[in-house]
Amino acid sequence: MTELLSLERPVREGGIHALPAPYLLFLGDIVEPGYAKTAFGLRDWAGDRCLGEHALPAATVTTGLRRMTPAEAAAKGARAMVIGVANPGGLIPPAWMPALLAALDAGLDLIAGMHAQLSTLAPLRELAARRGRRLIDLRVPPTDLPIASGRKRTGRRLLTVGTDCALGKKYTALAITRGLVTRGVDATFRASGQTGIMIAGDGIAIDAVVADFAAGAAELLSPDATPDHLDVIEGQGSLFHPSYAAVSLALLHGSQPDLFVVCHQPGREEMLGAAGYRVPLVEAVIEQTLMLGRLTNPAIRCAGVSLNTSGMPANAADRAIAWTSAHLDLPAADPIRGGRAFERLLDTCQA
């Protein structure tokens, strides 16, 4: 997959270009691929900065990159180990500590976007100080965030929304941005989560913001722009998820999207991390997004549907895309597969 950073606005101080690379991606002990979306996102969209992966024996998930110890990665030129996991609650389990300490001992900095911050863990802080290494926490929101004003901003905005978590909202936003820029459209990817920030160079981790200020942070994420400019905003969570609907709603109200694209994974039946909660129908997400989004943008409309067909053979994926488009009377595509279906989705995003 091609690098997207060259399509972005200049990176502010402290952005991705200032981070120490190449990276060793740390997968911890996870067995659920959905929780490794940070590692997969960096592999797919910043692959030139990813040297290998490191995982604990219990892990069953892999990015397909070469397995390395921190010492081996440092010998190959790695400068930092990135925690490539976004687990429930954003915690750093005690079982990870030996690997994190080993990375510091090997001369690597540590980068994380977890809710739990590296700098608050005494063993890491003390060893980093002794070794002259950095602990870089990305999930730290800006200070002095405003509450949302609801003021209509100039320019245009597109938000990716989902039937569930971890099914392609970031990938869809990145692919749409790349596709539109290739067409000559003035478009910018706006990152609202840890992986997106690592890829784009800046952004705000919306789920780390105090609730009263989350919609205000979303307003800052996509400021006033020229009338022909389109901000493509990375969505978070799902309006139907019992754990994360609040951050999805704040992002919807604050971003004031003119357009939204619904992201869905065919075959997924149960919400990730929420046993007993079924994944809603795409049409239910469209209806709910329109109803709630009209508060801050009465002209909001659905541009189409993005399907994550990564686990399907090509013929089955084509059938799912065609059925969804016909059933909803909207463009549907898998942005990663591309093709004519994706070009039709880009047409409606550009219109």
The pair of structure tokens assigned to 194 is: 């840890």
Residue type, 217: A
Q: Is 148 among the domain residues? A: no
The pair of structure tokens assigned to 158 is: 């597109």
Q: Looking at the structure, do residues 203 and 326 belong to the same domain, yes or no?
A: yes
Q: Is the pLDDT of residue 151 over 80?
A: yes
Q: How confident is the model at residue 6 (pLDDT cuts 50, 70, 90)?
A: very low
Q: Is the pLDDT of residue 14 over 50?
A: no
Domain stops at, among 106, 137, 168 = 137
What is the rounded average pLDDT of the residues 274-287?
97
pLDDT, tens digit (0-9, with 9 covering 90-100), for 58-99: 999 999 999 999 999 999 999 999 999 987 778 899 999 999
How confident is the model at residue 3, as a pLDDT?
Answer: 39
Q: Is 146 among the domain residues? A: no
pLDDT, tens digit (0-9, with 9 covering 90-100), for 221-242: 999 999 999 999 999 999 999 9
Q: How confident is the model at residue 262 (pLDDT cuts 50, 70, 90)?
A: very high
Q: Is the pLDDT of residue 7 over 80?
A: no
> Domain tally for the chain?
2
The answer to whether the Cα torsion of 152, 153, 155, 157 is positive or negative is: negative
Q: Is 224 among the domain residues? A: yes
- Domain with residue 93: its CATH number is 3.40.50.720
List of residues 6+ apart from 107 with CB closer than 8 A: 74, 131, 133
Q: How confident is the model at residue 252 (pLDDT cuts 50, 70, 90)?
A: very high
Q: Looking at the structure, do residues 128 and 160 belong to the same domain, yes or no?
A: no
List the 80-83 sheet strands across, edge first: 50-55, 23-28, 80-83, 109-112, 135-137
Q: Looking at the structure, do residues 161 and 279 belong to the same domain, yes or no?
A: yes
Q: Are 96 and 29 in contact (CB under 8 A)?
A: yes
Find where tokens 């109200």 sit: 253
Q: Looking at the structure, do residues 231 and 303 belong to the same domain, yes or no?
A: yes
Q: Looking at the structure, do residues 189 and 56 belong to the same domain, yes or no?
A: no
How confident is the model at residue 199, as a pLDDT?
Answer: 85
Q: Which residues share a beta bridge with 13?
A: none
Of 176, 202, 207, 198, whose CA–CA distance to 190 is shortest? 202
Q: Is 144 among the domain residues? A: no
Q: Looking at the structure, do residues 187 and 280 belong to the same domain, yes or no?
A: yes
Q: Looking at the structure, do residues 193 and 71 belong to the same domain, yes or no?
A: no
Give the pairing type, strands 80-83 and 50-55. unpaired
Q: Is 147 among the domain residues? A: no
What is the rounded average pLDDT of the residues 169-196?
95
Task: State the pTM of this model.
Answer: 0.83
Q: Looking at the structure, do residues 228 and 97 belong to the same domain, yes or no?
A: no
pLDDT, tens digit (0-9, with 9 covering 90-100), for 15-59: 333 678 899 999 999 999 988 989 998 999 989 989 999 999 999
Q: Is the pLDDT of residue 2 over 60?
A: no
Mean pLDDT (the chain, rounded):
92
Q: Looking at the structure, do residues 299 and 179 belong to the same domain, yes or no?
A: yes
CA distance 312 to 4: 26
CA distance 148 to 161: 20
Q: Are 225 and 182 in contact (CB under 8 A)?
A: no
How confident is the model at residue 16, as a pLDDT?
Answer: 37
Total Cβ atoms within 10 A of residue 21: 18
Q: Is 308 among the domain residues? A: yes
Q: Looking at the structure, do residues 50 and 171 belong to the same domain, yes or no?
A: no
Q: Which domain holds residue 209?
A: 156-350
Q: Looking at the structure, do residues 161 and 254 belong to the same domain, yes or no?
A: yes
Q: Looking at the structure, do residues 230 and 316 belong to the same domain, yes or no?
A: yes
- Domain with residue 314: its CATH number is 3.40.50.300
List of residues 6+ apart from 41 with CB closer than 8 A: 170, 171, 195, 196, 198, 199
Q: Is 314 among the domain residues? A: yes
